[in-house]
Amino acid sequence: MQRYLGKLTPVWLCVVAVFVVATGGVEAKMRLAEGGKARCVIVRQPGATPAERHAADELAATLRQITGATFDIRDESATAPPSAIIVGPGPVAKALFPEVNLAAFGGEQLAIRTKGQHLLLAGGRPRGTLYAVYHFLQDECGVRWWTPWASTIPKKRTLEIGDLAVDAKPAFEARDPFWFLAFDGDWAARNYSNSQSANLTEERGGKIIYKGFVHTFYSLVPPKEYFATHPEWFSLINGKRTSEGAQLCTTNPQLRDFIVQRVKEWIRESPEASIVSVSQNDWYGACECPECKALDDREGSHAGSMLALVNYVAEKIAPEFPNVAIDTLAYQYTRKAPKTIRPCPNVIVRLCSIECNFGAPLEDESNKSFGDDLRAWGKICNRLYIWDYTTNFAHYPLPHPNWYSLGPNVRFFQQNGVKGVFEQGAYQSNGGEMAELRAWVLARLLWNPYQDDRKLISEFLNGYYGKAAPFIQEYMNLLYQKSRGVYLTCYNSPSAPFLDFSTLSKAEQLWQSAEAAVKGNSDLLWRVRIGHLPVRYAFLQRWTQLRQECVSANAKWPLPLSRKAVADEWLAVATGPGPAGWTPMTHVNESGLTPQAFVARFAVDPPDPANPLPPPKDIPGADARTSVDGQEGLASLYGEGSLAEVRHDPAASDGMAVRMPGSHREWAFQLPVSNLERRATSGKWNVYAVVRVEKAQNANPNDTAFTAGVYDTGTKTDEASIAPKVADVDTEGYKSYLLGTVETNLDQRIWAAPAANPSVTAVWVDRVYLVPAGA
């Protein structure tokens, strides 16, 4: 009988199976348990590491869960009992399986062998033996550890195995499904993650350890300490040295030597670290000095000067710290590979996909630029890592249909020489949309990319949700099909076109059916209710618009008519108790919005839009029957949670408005004309923004209160704009401001922004309102 552990292709030989055929065509059997009684013992050997001892304990405990039998663990130094499972390397393993040279195995390589009534589960150090045990329990016994709080442990009072001969190792040296639940140490070890963020103690095999992780320029060279005395160490931008929104001057010789010494200090502080990050800050601001610019121009990329610095540091530390690598980023302005500079062997380049369309595979035409960069780096970099994005950071619970891109992406990475993958998800709390599925599927794929990802998804749904799985699978297929062609970013807005009433109504009905299918099982029902939260989140975010769509379509509303009631129920599930291993949701987005603060927006039910909301009283000629109302739920918010956020406001027309602090001038409120009713996407309209301004004490009446306008992204022109003074705004309530008379089209965006001056505390936008010109 042949046993395949994965699809063996010329580009992926990380898993190699040795095939053993039993004499006479009948497979030999080794009986581990019979009728709930153990028929073998577990053998540990001299010098077993903490991870190897833990592997034996895990094996005994799990086999007992499967069979009901108690398996003795013995420490043997010479011979094994007649029937035994040998865990880890040592003299017994060497005597019984001399053909398996465990001493030559890599740190995560494993071997599984049978010979007569002996089973070997062993591997390299530190994690190989642990992985051999987990590999055996999952592939041979059917165990699945879905989450820290949910597993599938088959019940087999009699357990026997056939001939096994397996050698395996992971496809990537660094594997990080960076989701909150994946930080649990037991889950991470059992699912082959060696994430630097997981609670992987020594007994769980340990993990990759960084000193710094990313964006370390200002940790290495703090501006507060060094800018005054060494301004030349920081970026030259527009002819001026600055540390504000800037980077370092990577070609400066004195700075380079200073960073070398700082890196050596870091390594001495953390001798357990195998990687030190020397990487750009999390913004733009590259140095424009003649030396940096000349190098970048010559290399055709800002990665030229960045990599030159990193190579210099790597070469200088190598003699003293030969086992430490220097990690840097190919991110945003440094993403493109340089023409001639090549990373040193002890340099890791981490390529980031933040600009990509995550609704399509990264090798898709819509992601051609990133694909080209990945292929280019793969040709020149010995240790290429990836930082990939698998969630919506502005809305962790919002439906984010990237599920069917995960498998193609991991395979694309491996096929282009990638050695490490960091899959960033909702990492700050539980409650991210389909978090449980993504973490498990990604962990499996990072071990072996050539598993069928669609089958893995189906396996998880059936194992985790039980009889609810078909409805959830249909929901996933629905969202995937509706989102085709949409550029799905990691900051998508709730106004995304696939989150319309027709789609969300069907999605809600499917989740209601999923709940009904498992109503007799409290564990499964809880899991389904957690999974249901994202659809309800989308309804809450777009309530008024979805109600309008429902009324216009003469359709049935699938929820209670009280938004407050829906929000209260949502909060009770999101923050309520759960099984052991679960902790309630604490973050709705990366900026720190809590579930409680999110639901506080919905303290008052808005007027039901079965009838149009009345127009603003201060707009002449406004008629709700002919005008178009663009509420806040249709807007895209830039920097949501920090630069703009939706808040409950009793003074707003629907009880909700977008609040922007007055400290910045970003166009944080943007409402695409394409999100409005179809009739508003052409013709001539008077475009209004309905705004109120919070003035600061002692406000200067001549300061600009806010700015707003209409911008055409196709022609890159301002179609209208205003900048009213503080003296001209109404601070008692909302006022309608005419932005201009505009011939509308689908490329336009209606925007508003604060003016970044101390006279204004905040700017609130209730809605935009379009009145036919001439009305």
The answer to the question of residue 568 being in a domain is yes
Confidence of residue 606 (pLDDT cuts 50, 70, 90): confident
- Considering only CA atoms, which of 35, 66, 58, 61 is closest in space to residue 143? 66
Length of the chain: 775
Residues 638 and 584 in one domain: no
Same domain as 588, residue 636: no
Q: CA–CA separation, 228 vs 226, rounded Å? A: 6
Q: Is the pLDDT of residue 485 over 70?
A: yes
Query: What is the band of 730 on the pLDDT scale with cuts at 50, 70, 90?
Result: confident
**What pLDDT is stored for residue 79 in this prediction?**
85
Kindly tell me if the per-residue pLDDT of 296 is higher than 80.
Answer: yes
* DSSP secondary structure code for residue 36 in this structure: T
Q: Which domain holds residue 280?
A: 209-329
- The mean predicted confidence, pLDDT, of the chain is 94
CA atoms within 13 A on the CB side of 224: 1
Which of 557, 581, 600 finishes a domain? 600
- CB contact at 8 A, 224 and 212: no
Q: Which residue has the higher pLDDT, 222 or 729?
A: 222
Let me know: does 343 contact 349? Beta carbons within 8 Å: yes
For the chain, the domain total comes to 4
Across 435-462, average pLDDT? 98
Q: What is the CATH number of the domain that holds 151?
A: 3.30.379.10
Answer with the residue of higher pLDDT: 4 or 612: 612
Tell me what pLDDT residue 761 has. 96
Residue 688 has pLDDT above 90, yes or no: yes
Q: Which two tokens stand for residue 363?
A: 């090798």
Q: Are residues 26 and 105 in the same domain?
A: yes
Q: In this structure, are strands 110-115 and 73-75 parallel, antiparallel, or unpaired?
A: unpaired
- For range 650-661, the mean pLDDT: 92
Any domain includes 345: no
Angstrom CA distances, 550 to 146, 305, 680, stand at 38, 56, 19
pLDDT exceeds 60 at position 283: yes
Q: What band does 610 get if pLDDT is binned at 50, 70 and 90?
A: low
User: What is the per-residue pLDDT for 193?
Assistant: 98
Q: Could you tell me the CATH number of the domain that includes residue 652? A: 2.60.120.260
Is there a single domain that holds both residue 26 and residue 163?
yes
- pLDDT band for position 7 (cuts 50, 70, 90): very low
pLDDT at 1 over 70: no
The pLDDT confidence band at residue 605, using thresholds 50, 70 and 90, is confident
Please choose, from the candidates 640, 648, 642, the residue with its C-alpha nearest in 3D space to the C-alpha of residue 670: 640
In a domain, 376, yes or no: no
pLDDT band at residue 21 using 50, 70 and 90 as cut-offs: very low
Give the model's pLDDT for residue 77. Answer: 87
Q: What is the pLDDT of residues 734-753, one digit of tens each?
A: 999 999 999 999 999 999 99
CA of 749: how far to CAs of 129, 636, 737, 768, in Å? 58, 10, 16, 11
Question: Can you tell me the distance from the alpha carbon of 271 to that of 279, in angstroms, rounded to the nearest whole number?
Answer: 20
Digit-coded pLDDT (tens) for 59-87? 999 999 999 999 999 998 888 899 999 99
**For residue 238, what are its two tokens?**
């527009």
Would you say 654 and 682 are in contact if contact means Cβ atoms under 8 Å apart? Answer: no
Question: Considering the domain boundaries, does residue 309 fall inside one?
Answer: yes
Q: What is the pLDDT of residue 435?
A: 98
- Final residue in a domain of this structure, among 329, 348, 368: 329
31 and 139 housed in the same domain: yes
Query: Same domain, yes or no, for 232 and 297?
Result: yes
Query: What's the pLDDT score for residue 6?
Result: 35
* Confidence at residue 609, expressed as pLDDT on a 0 to 100 scale: 64
DSSP 400: -
Domain membership flag for residue 385? no
Q: Has residue 9 got a pLDDT over 70? A: no
Question: What pLDDT is recorded for position 621?
Answer: 84
Specify the range with the lowest mean pLDDT, choosing from 497-501, 599-603, 728-732. 728-732
For the segment 502-544, what is each residue's pLDDT rounded down to a tens digit? Answer: 999 999 999 999 999 999 999 999 999 999 999 999 999 999 8
Give yes or no: residues 148 and 223 share one domain.
Answer: no
Read out DSSP for 198-253?
A: S---GGGT----EES-S--HHHHS-HHHHTTT-GGGB-EETTEE--TT--B-TT-H
- For 123-169, the pLDDT digits (tens) are 999 999 999 999 999 999 999 999 999 999 999 999 999 999 999 99
Same domain, 21 and 165: yes
Is the model's pLDDT at 598 over the cut of 90?
yes
Q: What is the pLDDT of residue 2?
A: 29
d(CA 619, CA 139): 69
Q: Residue 19 pLDDT more than 70?
A: no
Choose the weakest-confidence range: 100-109, 281-290, 472-481, 597-606.
Answer: 597-606
- pLDDT exceeds cutoff 80 at 28: no
pLDDT of 13: 39
* Whether residue 582 is found in the same domain as residue 650: no
Domain co-membership, 30 together with 149: yes
pLDDT for position 386: 98
Asked if residue 116 belongs to a domain, the reply is yes
Which of residues 584, 600, 616 is at a domain's end?
600
Span 89-99, pLDDT tens digits: 999 999 999 99
| DSSP secondary structure, 82-140, as one string | SSEEEESSSHHHHHH-TT--GGG--TT-EEEEEETTEEEEEESTTTHHHHHHHHHHHHT
Intra-chain end-to-end CA distance of the chain, in Å: 81
Q: Residue 42 — pLDDT band, cuts 50, 70, 90?
A: very high
Percent of the chain with pLDDT over 90: 87
151 with 38, same domain: the answer is yes
Mean pLDDT within 367-372: 98
Question: What's the whole-number mean pLDDT along residues 439-465?
Answer: 98
Is residue 362 in some structural domain?
no
Q: Which residue has the higher pLDDT, 294 or 13?
A: 294
Cα dihedral 25/31/35/39 (nearest 10):
160
Q: Is 621 inside a domain boundary?
A: no
Does residue 595 share a domain with residue 709?
no
Q: Which residue has the tokens 């000067």?
A: 305
